[in-house]
Structure 1
Amino acid sequence: MSGLAIYRGLTRLLGPLIPAYLQRRMKRGKEDPVRMGERLGTAGLKRPAGHLVWLHAASVGESLSILTLIDRILAARPDLTLLVTSGTVTSAKLLGKRLPERALHQFVPVDTPGAVAGFLDHWRPDAAVLVESELWPNLITLTRARRIPMALINARMSASSERGWRWWASAARSITGSFGLVLAQDETAAARLRRLGATGAKAVGNLKVDAAPPPAPDGLMGDLTRFLAGRAAWVAASTHPGEERILADTHQLLKKAIPGLLTVIVPRHPERGPEIARMLRDMDLDVAQRSTGDRVTGRTDIYLADTLGELGGFFRVLTIVFMGGSLVRVGGHNPIEPALLGAAILTGPHVHNFEGIYRAFSDGKASETVTDAPSLAAAIGRLMSDGVLAGARVTAAAETAGSLTGALETTLTDLLPFLDTATGGTSNART
């Protein structure tokens, strides 16, 4: 029996347990109780008439990376509706605010045969476009079985993921070979995908580099202008469990030499705000929590920005940015946005999700890698005390980020003809 058949059989057997699993996730804030049916394959919206293309982006980063692409596809093909799926509550909220007309959001179904079949039965997409590394076996094989053309764009494949797939070589060939178009972030990822079976994979660049800068809410900008006046400050962006304690230790080390220092922490998942606030206060730190409207005073140590969609404001105002998910083995987050908005970039060592980008930043002396609280405190201290160093780092970051652009146009060059073939339409190439 093949690996895919075993996987399909196991997920079918485990199907009855999935609702209980989702309920547990819901209690931790990781599922939307109102839209739980979507995760089980029951649509929350009516399918519109006409051609429909399905785009799947796993979480916030992937969702942000395709917003401009969505606008361009809709402009080129006014006859299309786009169905955009994602798997996290945070990404659903973001897409609900920022998707244009003719683009609908649904949660992606869990990867069981029944849930995927229910999703496909209702939506009947003319084509499917998956973003980055969402290689769910049932999702892909059942879509292929219905002869729905599939593309994988902005694809990435880390060395560890490739090693894992090699243990399941026949399944990897079947899954990666299901895509009629594979566009990778860089040649390293393209080569790994080709070795796994995506023989036509090619490198076109990373869409996250070409994503529009995040918005800067007016209310936030006014708040920052008021309470940052005269204070040294830095921001830790998109942090994950295990990192906030390191950041708190960093603050404790820094404030001995920098009176009035303010550390801003923006957790990747805002629903973690209360637990982070408790942990910080247990460390005898004065914490102002944005989601609860706490006022920032001269005594505030940590500003906990546990809100959604405001990171762009912090990137515009604070010029020292630590990118989270990198002191723990999450894989890092995209440094392009703060780099283009004038920040000096710091990161931990675990950046495998963006290895090509961080390699370019390292080569261009556009970022600095730290490993713990003492090294992070030392790096921040140097940037705050040495204006020449800080200016050079900011310039290098902006230049490096700018040199990596172009993925949006190259992706559209291949993707629009693919969609035209799948839907029998013709794109307006000038849009």
Structure 2
Amino acid sequence: EFPDLLMILVPRHPSRADAIADLLRGHGLEVSRRSLSGTIVRSTDVFLGDTLGEMGLYYRLAPVTFLGGSFTDAGGHNPVEAALAGSALVTGPRVANARAVYKEFWNADAGARAETGAELADTVAALLRDPDLAARQAERARALVAAGRGALDKTLMLLKPFLAEPAGNPAREAAHEDGT
């Protein structure tokens, strides 16, 4: 259905890249690797993002992101960076590592959950067929993350009246002596 589709596959541990590339090639897929300065050409099926520190780039390039580790006991991966980058999110059912965030996403229709591999394929295909749907979902996720920012500052502000000043802080003691 999507003959020109490029999969960007980013292993959690780049040290697994050789084995992953071999597995993909064993299935007849053309693979290009970031760590080897691989280029993407028309025949490339999978771009293997086997480097560190570039997830934001991959999320921005992908209209739809499946966050792995969510069909196994790994517990899924945190969706916040993908949401901020504007990629529509799909995950499996096992998301213990960020359950509260995912629950909020699912309740707000800001992320999709697939229970099976077949449902994952159908969900991703539906988002790829309807770029407006994917963009709306991605925007809801981005807005949820943005609305939740600042929690640490808000918490500290609420706790401040209950926290004792540390003893022996010369700058603080000097400020109290001059009335500030």
Which category of TM-score, normalised to the shorter sequence, fits these structures? 0.7 to 0.9
The offset of 1:365, in angstroms, is 0.6
Matches of 1:399 and 1:337, distance apart in 2: 12
Bigger strand fraction = 1
SS across alignment from 1:321: strand
388, 391, 394: which is aligned to 2:138? 394
Answer yes or no: is 1:291 the counterpart of 2:28. no
Is 1:420–1:426's contact at 8 Å kept on the other side of the alignment? Answer: no
Matches of 1:420 and 1:272, distance apart in 2: 49
Q: What is residue 113 of structure 2 aligned with on the other side?
A: 369
Q: What is residue 318 of structure 1 aligned with on the other side?
A: 62
CA distances 1:281-326 after superposition (whole Å, capped 9, x unpaired): 1111111111122222111111110000001111222221111221
Answer yes or no: is 1:383 the counterpart of 2:127. yes
Matches of 1:317 and 1:427, distance apart in 2: 49
Q: What is residue 328 of structure 1 aligned with on the other side?
A: 72
The code of the aligned residue for 2:25 comes to R
The offset of 1:360, in angstroms, is 0.4
In structure 2, relative to structure 1, the CA distance for the partners of 1:284 and 1:409 (3 Å cut) is same
68, 72, 86: which is aligned to 1:342? 86
Answer yes or no: is 1:262 the counterpart of 2:6. yes
Matches of 1:419 and 1:333, distance apart in 2: 37
In structure 2, relative to structure 1, the CA distance for the partners of 1:426 and 1:328 (3 Å cut) is farther
The offset of 1:410, in angstroms, is 3.3
TM-score by length of 2: 0.83
Is 1:339–1:401's contact at 8 Å kept on the other side of the alignment? Answer: yes
Is 1:326–1:333's contact at 8 Å kept on the other side of the alignment? Answer: yes
Matches of 1:292 and 1:326, distance apart in 2: 28
The offset of 1:347, in angstroms, is 0.6
In structure 2, relative to structure 1, the CA distance for the partners of 1:317 and 1:418 (3 Å cut) is farther
* Structure 2: tracts of 5 or more residues without a match: 173-180
In structure 2, relative to structure 1, the CA distance for the partners of 1:365 and 1:295 (3 Å cut) is same
SS across alignment from 1:297: coil
Matches of 2:150 and 2:75, distance apart in 1: 24
Matches of 2:97 and 2:149, distance apart in 1: 18
Q: What is residue 23 of structure 2 aligned with on the other side?
A: 279
Matches of 2:54 and 2:27, distance apart in 1: 26
Q: What is residue 352 of structure 1 aligned with on the other side?
A: 96
The code of the aligned residue for 1:316 comes to R
The offset of 1:395, in angstroms, is 2.0
Matches of 1:350 and 1:316, distance apart in 2: 24
CA distances 1:326-375 after superposition (whole Å, capped 9, x unpaired): 12111111111121221111111110111111110011011111133322
Q: What is residue 152 of structure 2 aligned with on the other side?
A: 408
The offset of 1:273, in angstroms, is 0.8
In structure 2, relative to structure 1, the CA distance for the partners of 1:424 and 1:279 (3 Å cut) is farther
Is 1:370–1:376's contact at 8 Å kept on the other side of the alignment? Answer: yes
Identity %: 36
After superposition, where does 1:28-427 map in structure 2 within 5 Å? 257-410=1-154, 412-413=156-157, 421=166, 424-425=168-169
CA distances 1:363-415 after superposition (whole Å, capped 9, x unpaired): 10111111333222211111111133223212211222222222231355459
SS across alignment from 2:66: strand
The code of the aligned residue for 2:113 comes to T
* Structure 1: tracts of 5 or more residues without a match: 1-256
Q: What is residue 163 of structure 1 aligned with on the other side?
A: none
SS across alignment from 2:10: strand
Matches of 1:426 and 1:385, distance apart in 2: 64
The offset of 1:426, in angstroms, is 7.7
The code of the aligned residue for 1:331 comes to G
CA distances 1:193-227 after superposition (whole Å, capped 9, x unpaired): xxxxxxxxxxxxxxxxxxxxxxxxxxxxxxxxxxx
Is 1:265–1:304's contact at 8 Å kept on the other side of the alignment? Answer: yes
